Amino acid sequence: NIGDDLAEGKPTLPLIYALEHGSEELAQLIRQVLADEQLQAEKLQQVIEIVQDCGALDYARKLAKSESDQALACLDVLPPSEYRDALTTMVKFSNTRSN
């Protein structure tokens, strides 16, 4: 989830999107929170709201869906097998998981 990744200092696609598409003021707040070794719950919540409000989650979901569709199209050219089925299942699962 966004909060866990942020607390661990992991730059996720939604966070990068927010940094690039949010205002400079909001981007600066995100950078400050990322640099803070003692992450405060209220600051974390602010960043989560920024990420949600700027459309970063929708962007990441759409990109994941697009990449999944491409992967499934690539798998369709393979002959039917248990391996293709397993890969197809993995792609579909990765696109439906919530964190």
Amino acid at 59: Y
Over the chain (99 residues), the average pLDDT of each successive run of 10 is 76 92 91 81 87 93 96 97 98 82
pTM of the model: 0.78
CA distance 3 to 48: 7
Residues with Cβ within 8 Å of 96's Cβ and at least 6 positions away in sequence, in order, are none
Question: What is the rounded distance in angstroms from the CA atom of residue 96 to the CA atom of residue 99?
Answer: 9
